[in-house]
Structure 1
Amino acid sequence: MGEHYFAERPDAATRRRSVDLVLPDLHLRLDTDSGMFSPDRIDPGTRVLLETAPDPPESGDLLDLGCGYGPIALTLASRSPQAMVWGVDVNQRALVFAESNAQAAGLDNVRFTLGDELDPGLRFAAIWSNPPIRIGKAALHDLLLAWLPRLTPGGLAHLVVQKHLGSDSLQQWLEGQGFPTERIASRSAYRVLRVAPRTEGRTP
């Protein structure tokens, strides 16, 4: 995984390689490097999310929160060619590779940026994420509270979290924050959570 993957400017020595993302509907060769999340293979949680979540909306703005080198964002862009996909991360090395991977795949409906550089008025028809659990519970909660309220009224978020890293407690916390949340898939110790926008009267 790499201890520096959630650093803004990783200091890990560069070691480029490629991984293959093979799904029933697409095959992408993605370049990666040290200092980013799961550089040696597609993370199993990411794969569970991509193989079990329902199809993303056909149009609108879609968000990959914590995009790394881009497997989720590029899958969204491929599956929803009429949508605009945004990938955000703190890791600038990963963002460079994500942009390069999008160009190599011929996907022009996806952009990658630091989260604080994205238009704060943008609202998302979908948010997909393999969230950075290892940044710590408090930081994770702050991250989710910054982005989940930016769902459109009919939008949905899909998050994948390992059971032993707190998927059940995260589901309970999200419910406590006013976001209706349900588990829609469970595989290989991973849980996929579907999160709906806050409903009136449920804001804590």
Structure 2
Amino acid sequence: MEQQYFTDQPAATEAELRRLHVSVRGFEVEMWVSDKVFSGSRLDLGTRQLLAEAPALPGSGTFLDLGCGWGPVAVAMALESPGATVWAVDVNTRALELTRRNAVHNETSNVVPMAADQALTRARAEGVRFDAIWSNPPVRIGKEAMHVMLTSWLDLLSDQGVAHLVVQRNMGADSLTAWLCERGYRAGKIASKKGYRIIEVHPRSS
């Protein structure tokens, strides 16, 4: 987990890469994966639930896949809404390399992989607002760090933007929802399946 979440440039070789066929939002895609990235052997259950339960995306706009890993969410968003621009951000360089490769392989030219800190700086500097944010956030980095990460990006939702997060029930999904509401966001559970909550988040009340 240390390498998967925190290492900027984890070591990996082409020999460690393999292809994985997955179904996302009704699209059949072939993805390159690596053990150096979260859930490097399969599409993890939480992400499966997010992709299954999140409502339809707008046809256009600027979207965010926060913590993109090897890119299943970003590629799914891009395929569903080819008129949108999808920012795919992560702290793991290997994840960004795989997302870039998978976007090209699946002909989704509207995916833009970026290092998380650089992307946040750019979004704030350019006044970027996101119409959709999807994330399977890294709960194991700790509550405080996750709260900082989430609020940094949720504050960049557009006026009509909506975020959807997937969090395990026994990893604090309900307490996270309550915490977001206390901070002024409109947040609530829209689905619960196989131990995971899908949390819908609207911008802070003005």
Q: Judge same fold: TM > 0.5, yes or no.
A: yes
Equivalent in the alignment of 2:110: 109
16-25 or 50-59, which deviates more: 16-25
Is 1:126 the counterpart of 2:127? The answer is no
Counterpart contact for 2:66–2:137, Cα < 8 Å: yes
Q: TM-score, normalised by structure 1?
A: 0.93
Equivalent in the alignment of 1:51: 52
Shift of 1:12: 5.5
Equivalent in the alignment of 2:21: 20
Equivalent in the alignment of 1:9: 8
Shift of 1:21: 1.8
Q: TM-score, normalised by structure 2?
A: 0.93
Counterpart contact for 1:18–1:40, Cα < 8 Å: no
Counterpart contact for 1:10–1:35, Cα < 8 Å: no
Counterpart contact for 2:65–2:74, Cα < 8 Å: yes
Shift of 1:148: 0.3
Residue deviations 1:157-189 (CA, integer Å, cap 9, x gap): 000000111101100111111111110011000
Is 1:160 the counterpart of 2:176? The answer is no
CA distance in 1, matches of 2:54, 2:116: 24
Is 1:172 the counterpart of 2:178? The answer is yes
Shift of 1:10: 4.9
CA distance in 2, matches of 1:105, 1:13: 22
CA distance in 2, matches of 1:109, 1:148: 21
CA distance in 1, matches of 2:21, 2:146: 28
CA distance in 2, matches of 1:128, 1:31: 21
Relative to 1, partners in 2 of residues 1:49 and 1:24: Cα closer, same or farther, differing over 3 Å? Answer: closer
127-136 or 15-24, which deviates more: 15-24
Shift of 1:13: 5.2
Equivalent in the alignment of 2:96: 95
In structure 1, runs of 5+ residues without a counterpart are none
**Secondary structure, aligned partner of 2:83:** coil
Equivalent in the alignment of 1:148: 154
The alignment's C-alpha RMSD in Å is 1.3
Equivalent in the alignment of 1:75: 76
CA distance in 2, matches of 1:12, 1:138: 28
In structure 2, runs of 5+ residues without a counterpart are none
Shift of 1:19: 2.0
Counterpart contact for 1:69–1:98, Cα < 8 Å: yes
Shift of 1:24: 5.5
Residue deviations 1:34-71 (CA, integer Å, cap 9, x gap): 22110000010001000111011111100000001100
Deviant stretches of 4+, over 3 Å:
10-14
Counterpart contact for 2:25–2:80, Cα < 8 Å: no
Relative to 1, partners in 2 of residues 1:64 and 1:24: Cα closer, same or farther, differing over 3 Å? Answer: closer
121-130 or 9-18, which deviates more: 9-18
